[in-house]
Amino acid sequence: MTIWILFALMTGAAVLAVLVPLSRRKAAETADAAESERLFYEDQIAEIERDHGRGLITAEEMRAAKAEAARRLIRATSQASAPQETVDEPALRRRRAASAVALSSVPLLALAVYGAYGSPHLPAQPLSARLEQTIDPRNLDIAEAVARIETHLAQDPDDGRGWDVLGPVYMRQGRFEDAARAWANALRLLGPDPARLANLGEALVNAEGGVVKARAREAFEQALGLDENHPKARFYLAQAAEQEGDVAGARAAYEEIVRRSPPNAPWLDVVGERLVAVGGAPIQPRAPFATAPGSEAGAALAALPEEDRLAAIGGMVEGLAARLKEDGGSAEEWVRLLRSYAVLGDRDRAQVALAEAREALAGDPAAVATLDAAAAEMGLGGAAPRQ
Amino acid sequence: MLIEAGHFALALALGLSVVQFLVPIWGARTNDATLMSVGPPAAIGVFALILFSFGVLSFAYATSDFSLANVVANSHSQKPFVYKLTGVWGNHEGSMLLWILILALFGALVAVARNAVPPKLRANTIAMQGLVTIAFLLFLLITSNPFERISPAPFEGQDLNPFLQDPGLAIHPPLLYIGYVGFSITFAFAMAALIEGKIDAVWARAVRPWTLTAWGFLTLGIAMGSYWAYYELGWGGWWFWDPVENASLMPWLAGTALIHSTVVMEKRDALKVWTILLAILTFSLSLLGTFLVRSGVLTSVHAFAVDPDRGLFILGILVFFIGGSLALFAWRAPMLKQGGIFAPVSREGALVLNNLFISTACATVFIGTLYPLALESLTGAKISVGAPFFNATFLPIAVPLLLLLPFGQVIAWKRGDVAGITSRLYVAAGLAILATVAVYAVTLGGPALAPLGIGLGVFLVLGAFNEVATRAWQSGSGGVALAAKRALGLPRSTWGTVLAHAGMGVTVVGVAATAWSVERIVSMNPGDVQTIAGYEARLEGVFPRTLHNYNEDVARFTLLDDGREVAQLETMKRIYPARGMSTTEAGLETFGFSQVYISFGEIQPDGSLGVRLYYKPWILLIWIGSVIMALGAALALTDRRYRVGAPVRAKGGPRGSGSSTRRPAATSAVPAE
């Protein structure tokens, strides 16, 4: 409501600015045309005299110039007619019409335009005021949360927990320099911790576009000093060796990670990729059995030499394929088969299996969806052709 | 509530400017003083409302109010405070609001200025300014509303274009806009004169202060833009013949011609039709510049968000004002009474020549800028018209113009004689030739044409001051003291002319000296030393730094002269994460008028740094000359002629008349500026 009162006051002031001069009996300042022209030419004549005084023009030139200016003055003043200030009937009618225009057009135009584009219900929302509002965690979005924590830290920069919370958020947003700053602050305030050190290192590496530089290496080495098994620190140090061209060292480091990791560790996929890249033996065959940790078959497989192991795995996959083909199976089982082919690098058979799976599961849309999602993840052919 | 009040103020300003347009023009037609007296308060009211609205938008930026779409798109809570404020006009909507604010400011200034403007002329002028304001307020409110709200509001903005996060943004657009939009008032004066059908020397004098103001600010605005491009783009160039630059150069050229033609009109009551046409063309070119830059026809840092609707709307405004004014001109101009005739060798003859040259130069820039655009839209062929075209067409026009300039200054009004001119100028010309020969001797084997350019600049400076010297010494009597006294007694408009012309000469010297600039592109490792024009630059190191809303790689150099350290300078490559854009900040070190310019290139795969090193001799003269030109305009503005007061009847009764009592009258009047 107050906003409309304010608008009414503003409109009133604007209309008054027009109505006041209209309501005066006499125009306040009636500069008269003839008078201002006379002043101009007098000034011009004075200037001509000054020029003569300075010796710029001769007396004869002065006379000629003055005569010319005077002629123009006479011409100008004879044409000019002073504005009338009469209050006769037509003049009054004009004033009333002008007042009506002002009274109507100003508020109407303003309201029409504002009505079309304005949002009178929205208050001003300066950021500082919004950050002071009480928080309802249910509808707190991530940007707001970050803004709140940042504001809090700006006032109380020695709150290590705040930095600890911000670090992962910055990482996810791709603000790696900020993440590194946050981790560094957290370390300073909360003391060294292998995870924090490794995270600091990771942020620094990302900020450098993936290159492990001296500061990051230092952080990783410190992390290993506290926890010699820390996989992230080991992994990036291995990357550092790889980037420096130390292939053998990198391979040894990656193998070391595999050795030190539990068999179903989630990072093994990535480590395996790097290991192959530096010419090491693939460790992916462990992945199909990741779902059955510690199974006897898995342990026995792991103990086999490389070639035998591959052969054994191939045999197991064939068995699974044969069983699914004959008896059918759940979507999860088909996906496991696809994954096995994918890991073995046999894309053609994976495609064939995918087609078979689609056929077998055709009656179950949910199962097909699961299948498609997994296929897409593995980069196999898209959705099933719809008939 | 405050934000919405700002929005409402804009809408209210639209309503009030309709009154500002209708009522005074009706008053002038019916010769009704009361109706005419509505103009000034309405113009002041419109200005106050728009100022309030602009203040509200600035407040929203200052407090990072992300409930405004405009603030979200162009601000960031972590941005330094000064850039939050300058960000108000660092975008399309805000800059249009600034445009309109200046438009209304000039309307209000005409309303309060009591220089000798005849009442009808003033009423019509205020009305025409109101019409322009209406058009642009509609444009702002309908197609580019800065007060558009977002609900719920996001918590962070998208940051301002990093190129604009620079002190230059605080200075360049306001100056340029005052220049651009300032010509709207000369346009309004021209329209008013055509409507009234009365154009004379009084009109010329009434318009002159406004033209001078607009021209001075436009000069500074262009110079500032040029300097900004010079240090921000990292290529060491100061003028690129870019269409956006040309868009500001064209009104400047037309405005320059206008300043000169109003002199003739004021003194000799001649060139009326031409002057009116120039006033129309100058503002039309300003509008054209706005259209080119804002419609998305040109892509540049000035284009901001491109929206075809906006382009169409501005095109409509353009057609309405240019077409309307030219139609009115075609209808009314033949009725204008022509003034005196004049001899070819005379001050007015020289000024006509000046106008011819400048308008031809303006036309070449116009063709060079618009021809490629027209060709592209008609046939789809893309051609690039760049420096070679302008060097081949613009320079052959500009050089004779500049050569003739000192002659124009010494010719007498009405009739001059060639012998007298040469006798007055031979000292200046001789010294300039001497300077040229000296430069040739010193730089033997260097650029062939540049010494001639230096000579031309020297001739312009000496020719400018020649006027003062000949006038002061003329009588032959008296010593130095008397001459100095006489020189100081010259009208300020004369001094303004002298300064503006000398400033042009200084700029010409600076431009010519660029022929000796040295450029080296090298790759350096920390500790490496490269020599550039007698200085050695040692790369101390490259290190990262995080400030405000950007991260930067800083290359620090030590500059040595004969092994002695003279300066430390830093050049940066900044990355703004909010937009993922990078900018280069050049490292500059000034020695006298010359600069060493070091710019951060790319970091090479082997870890070395690509560096561009430049030595720019006397480069600062280009901009110093522009500042001197603008100072000349400012000085001319303070001339006593423009302080002539309108009759103020506060005390009642007619004041003393006659030329002998003009002096006290002038001081009691309210100054025009």
pLDDT in tens, B32-77: 888 888 999 999 999 999 999 999 999 999 998 989 999 988 888 8
Q: Does A14 touch chain B (CB under 8 A)?
A: yes
> What does the pLDDT average to over B532-553?
84
**Which residue, among B7, B125, B140, B155, would best test binding to A if mutated, counting the most A CBs under 10 Å from its CB?**
B155
Query: What pLDDT, on the 0 to 100 scale, is given for residue A302?
Result: 57
Query: What pLDDT, on the 0 to 100 scale, is given for residue A308?
Result: 66
Assess if residue B663 is contained within a domain: no
Are B329 and B194 in contact by the 8 Å Cβ rule? The answer is yes
Are A225 and A195 in contact by the 8 Å Cβ rule? The answer is no
Query: E strand or H helix at B602, and its extent?
Result: strand B594-603
The pTM of the full predicted model, rounded to 2 decimals, is 0.74
C-alpha distance from B219 to closest chain A C-alpha (Å): 29
**Which residue, among A96, A106, A148, A185, would best test binding to B if mutated, counting the most B CBs under 10 Å from its CB?**
A106
Could you tell me the two tokens for A119?
A: 């949002």
Assess if residue B119 is contained within a domain: yes
Query: What pLDDT, on the 0 to 100 scale, is given for residue A123?
Result: 85
**Cβ–Cβ gap B35/A22 under 8 Å:** yes
In A27-66, the residues whose Cβ lies within 8 Å of chain B are: 27-33, 35-40, 42-47, 49-50, 54-57, 61
Please state which CATH class domain A286-387 belongs to: mainly alpha
ω before B308 within 30° of 0 (cis)?
A: no
Are B160 and B83 in contact by the 8 Å Cβ rule? The answer is yes
| pLDDT score of B107 more than 80 | yes
C-alpha distance from A113 to closest chain B C-alpha (Å): 6
Domain interval for residue B71: 1-161
B269 against B439, higher pLDDT: B439
State chain A's maximal CA–CA distance in angstroms: 126
Please, which residues bridge with residue B546 across strands? B551
Residue ranges of alpha helices (H) inside chain A are: 2-23, 33-53, 59-79, 89-117, 127-132, 142-155, 160-173, 176-190, 194-207, 214-226, 231-243, 247-260, 268-277, 296-303, 306-327, 331-344, 347-360, 365-378
3-state secondary structure of B259: helix
β pairing state of B581-585 and B564-576:
antiparallel
φ and ψ of B235, to 5 deg: -110, 0
Burial classification of residue B148, based on how many CB atoms lie within 10 Å of its CB (0-12 exposed, 13-18 middle, 19 or more buried) = middle
Exposure string for B529-552, b = 16+ CB within 10 A, e = fewer: ebebbebbbbbeebeeeeeebbbb
In B625-644, the residues whose Cβ lies within 8 Å of chain A are: 641, 644
The closest of B291, B292, B180, B304 to B243, measured between CA atoms, is B292
> What does the pLDDT average to over A99-104?
89
Separation of alpha carbons B199 and A106, rounded Å: 33
pLDDT category at B306 given cuts 50, 70, 90 is low
Residues of B with Cβ-Cβ distance to A152 under 8 angstroms: none
Interface ipTM: 0.81
Assess if residue B201 is contained within a domain: no
pLDDT category at A193 given cuts 50, 70, 90 is confident
B345 contacts: CB under 8 Å, gap ≥ 6:
B411, B415, B416, B417, B418
> Domain boundary residue among B134, B161, B188?
B161
**Cβ–Cβ gap A83/B32 under 8 Å:** yes
B459 against A34, higher pLDDT: B459
Do B457 and B596 belong to one domain? no
Q: How far is CA B356 from CA A317, B253, B254, B614, in A?
A: 91, 11, 11, 38
3-state secondary structure of B559: strand
Assess if residue B652 is contained within a domain: no
Q: Number of CB pairs < 8 Å for A and B?
A: 246
pLDDT category at A298 given cuts 50, 70, 90 is low
What is the edge-to-edge ordering of all strands in the sheet holding B564-576? B529-532, B535-547, B550-561, B564-576, B581-585
Residue ranges of alpha helices (H) inside B411-527 are: 418-442, 450-473, 480-488, 492-513
Are B49 and B9 in contact by the 8 Å Cβ rule? The answer is yes
Do B18 and B111 belong to one domain? yes
Query: What pLDDT, on the 0 to 100 scale, is given for residue B116?
Result: 62
Query: What pLDDT, on the 0 to 100 scale, is given for residue A78?
Result: 67
**Cβ–Cβ gap B151/A119 under 8 Å:** yes
| pLDDT score of A296 more than 80 | no
Q: Where are the domains of chain A?
A: 286-387
| pLDDT score of A40 more than 60 | yes
| pLDDT score of A172 more than 50 | yes
Residue of A nearest to B205 (CA): A40
Assess if residue B573 is contained within a domain: yes
Do B29 and B92 belong to one domain? yes
| pLDDT score of B435 more than 60 | yes
Separation of alpha carbons A3 and A1, rounded Å: 5
The whole-chain average pLDDT of chain B stands at 85
pLDDT category at A385 given cuts 50, 70, 90 is very low
pLDDT in tens, A109-149: 999 999 999 888 888 888 877 777 655 555 556 777 777 77
Are B207 and B621 in contact by the 8 Å Cβ rule? The answer is no
The alpha-carbon radius of gyration of chain B (Å, integer) is 27
Are B424 and B466 in contact by the 8 Å Cβ rule? The answer is yes
B184 against A131, higher pLDDT: B184
Check residue A28 and report its DSSP letter. Answer: S
| pLDDT score of A274 more than 90 | no
> What does the pLDDT average to over B326-349?
80
| pLDDT score of A42 more than 60 | yes
Reduce the secondary structure of A105-154 to three states and give it as a string: HHHHHHHHHHHHHCCCCCCCCCHHHHHHCCCCHHHCCHHHHHHHHHHHHH
The whole-chain average pLDDT of chain A stands at 77
pLDDT category at B665 given cuts 50, 70, 90 is very low
In A218-237, the residues whose Cβ lies within 8 Å of chain B are: none
| Mean pLDDT lowest among A275-279, B67-71, B179-183 | A275-279
pLDDT category at A24 given cuts 50, 70, 90 is confident
Do B536 and B430 belong to one domain? no
| pLDDT score of B304 more than 80 | no
| pLDDT score of B162 more than 90 | no
Query: What pLDDT, on the 0 to 100 scale, is given for residue B623?
Result: 96
Query: What pLDDT, on the 0 to 100 scale, is given for residue A16?
Result: 92
Count how many domains chain B has: 3
Query: What pLDDT, on the 0 to 100 scale, is given for residue B218?
Result: 95
Query: What pLDDT, on the 0 to 100 scale, is given for residue B110?
Result: 92
**Count of C-beta atoms within a 10 Å radius of residue A279:** 10
C-alpha distance from A126 to closest chain B C-alpha (Å): 4
φ and ψ of A254, to 5 deg: -65, -40
> Domain boundary residue among B161, B179, B204?
B161
pLDDT category at A316 given cuts 50, 70, 90 is confident
Q: Does A24 touch chain B (CB under 8 A)?
A: yes
Assess if residue B115 is contained within a domain: yes
Do B63 and B106 belong to one domain? yes
Query: What pLDDT, on the 0 to 100 scale, is given for residue B216?
Result: 96
- The minimal CB distance from A127 to the residues B37, B63, B340 is found for B63
Assess if residue B656 is contained within a domain: no
**Helices A331-344 & A306-327 angle (0-180, nearest 10):** 150
| pLDDT score of B656 more than 50 | no
Separation of alpha carbons A66 and A52, rounded Å: 11
Could you tell me the two tokens for B169?
A: 């943004």
Assess if residue B179 is contained within a domain: no
Please, which residues bridge with residue B595 across strands? B590, B616
Do B89 and B109 belong to one domain? yes
> What does the pLDDT average to over A5-33?
79
In A181-210, the residues whose Cβ lies within 8 Å of chain B are: 181
Query: What pLDDT, on the 0 to 100 scale, is given for residue B416?
Result: 73
* Cα B412 versus chain centre, distance: 30
Cα dihedral value A92, A97, A100, A106, nearest 10? -120
Query: What pLDDT, on the 0 to 100 scale, is given for residue B49?
Result: 97
Q: What is the percent of chain A where pLDDT is above 70?
A: 78
Please, which residues bridge with residue B520 across strands? B613
| pLDDT score of A315 more than 80 | no
The alpha-carbon radius of gyration of chain A (Å, integer) is 43
Do B573 and B434 belong to one domain? no
> What does the pLDDT average to over B78-103?
90
B273 contacts: CB under 8 Å, gap ≥ 6:
B333, B336, B338
